[in-house]
Amino acid sequence: MARMATTRRVAVSTAGAWLAGFLIFFPILWMILASFKTELEAFAIPPSFLFFHWTLENYATVQERSDYLHHALNSIIIAGGSTLIALLIAVPAAWSMAFSPTKRTKDILLWMLSTKMMPPVGVLVPIYLIFKTVGLLDSRIGLVFILCLGNLPIVIWMLFTYFKEIPRDILEAARMDGATIGRELVYVLTPMAIPGLASTLLLNLILAWNEAFWTLNLSTSEAAPLTVFIASYSSPEGLFWAKLSAASTLAIAPILVLGWFSQKQLVRGLTFGAVK
């Protein structure tokens, strides 16, 4: 007899799951609501949940007063740049380890993983001093460089696990048919590798966008991405809740959308393939 999901059981688990989901999501929802309130209403006690005067003025003020777009552009350049460079370095490496493994491949992979284990704070002092000496403090190039290296092990690992799943027989068949390495790469491997490449790109963009150790320590204004910009609202004189909420909503919206698309790859990427 197959286990039947009774209507009652579905109703109970549905109610429970929606309640849990709502509670977990609530802080984000509350922030989004606050971004449409006036400053006065955002502070008001008792709080108004839906019936307040909806306004877009916070979004306009955030841009006018603090040049939001400048920091958003920094985030795009830093996250995008570091991801693209990391992919350029990682694709050949992962390809090589997946398709021409040697006795040392496993050791190299584990060593790469271990570089990711190094706490950033352990090398904060030398990196800060090097950056200070060569004038990279508060520069986008410096942050692109650091975030690229910091995420490189994850990128290589993810690509490696995806490439390994490409059946090798297909390559052999292509070679038998006389395909050169170049043709093999363009017509056989690339189409099969695109899904893996896309998810690696997505996960790495998310990680770089939200990175808040190096960005906070190595940038202040010119190169400051959104993480640092939002942090500037922590000073007492900057406590405008509605504006903080508007700036925050804008800062997380794109990544929330990207993240929802990549939830499956998230597990795989962050556990280095240990859980699929």
Q: What is the footprint of other proteins within residues 158-177 (CB under 8 A)? A: none
3-state SS, 202-257, equals: HHHHHHHHHCCCHHHHHCCCCCCCHHHHHHHHHCHHHCCHHHHHHHHHHHHHHHHH
- Is 58 one of the binding residues for other proteins (CB under 8 A)? no
For residues 12 and 69, which CB has a smaller minimum distance to other proteins in the complex? 12
CB of 116 to other proteins, least distance (A): 8
For residues 140 and 146, which CB has a smaller minimum distance to other proteins in the complex? 146
Size of the site for other proteins (CB under 8 A): 99
Q: Which residues of 125-164 are buried (b: 16+ CB within 10 A; e: fewer)?
A: eebeeebeeeebbbbbebbbbbbbebbbbbbbbbbbbbbe
Three-class SS state of 104: coil
- Is 129 one of the binding residues for other proteins (CB under 8 A)? yes
Touching other proteins, residues 178-237 (CB under 8 A): 181, 206, 209-210, 212-213, 216-217, 226-228, 230-231, 233-234
For residues 140 and 211, which CB has a smaller minimum distance to other proteins in the complex? 211
Q: Which of 76, 93, 174, 179 binds other proteins (CB under 8 A)?
A: 93
Query: Rounded to an integer, what distance in angstroms lies between the CA atom of residue 59 and that of residue 111?
Result: 46
Cβ count near 117 (within 10 Å): 7
CB under 8 A: which stretch of 135-143, 148-156, 184-192, 193-201 binds other proteins? 148-156
Query: Rounded to an integer, what distance in angstroms lies between the CA atom of residue 254 and that of residue 6?
Result: 39
For residues 80 and 259, which CB has a smaller minimum distance to other proteins in the complex? 259
Question: Binding marks (x or -) toward other proteins, 19..38, rule CB under 8 A?
Answer: -xxx-xx-xx-xx--x----
Query: Rounded to an integer, what distance in angstroms lies between the CA atom of residue 221 and that of residue 234?
Result: 15
